[in-house]
Amino acid sequence: MLPKNEVAMEWCQPIEGGSLRSHVRLLLRSLGNSPPEVATTLRGLRALGRPRVVGDSPVAALLCAVAGSDPEVRRVWVGHHLVVLGRRAGYGCLWAAVRVPPAVRAFVEAFDAGLYPDLVRQDLPDRVDH
């Protein structure tokens, strides 16, 4: 298995073969075994986000950046328990869900609670979700 950052950097290349879901699982597991490890990995990759916005957490930012190499991926949501990928499928959209590993889940919960302020993106005003 590659070190964490090498796995994440490998994601920046186009994905050939295999399922997107398995690549997402590998990337999520490679982020770390505890919330501080996940934060350190995301910090090293300069993945920033906004608390309590499922499509704009640091994990979502990373997945959007790397899954964006797949032209079929339209959206990425990262919740406390699932990552949901929206893919184009003909005239509609196909959704794929991946369970969030415990360390990433704990990181997302801590980030949403205000921990890891250095990973908060400051370039956009707060968004009001309806």
Q: Where are the domains of the chain?
A: 4-119
Which residues lie below 8 Å from residue 87, measured CB to CB, with a gap of 6+? 20, 70, 72, 73, 74, 93, 94, 95, 96
Q: How does the average pLDDT of the chain come out, rounded?
A: 78
pTM over 0.85: no
52-91 pLDDT, tens digit per residue, is: 987 788 998 998 888 767 777 777 888 888 888 776 665 5
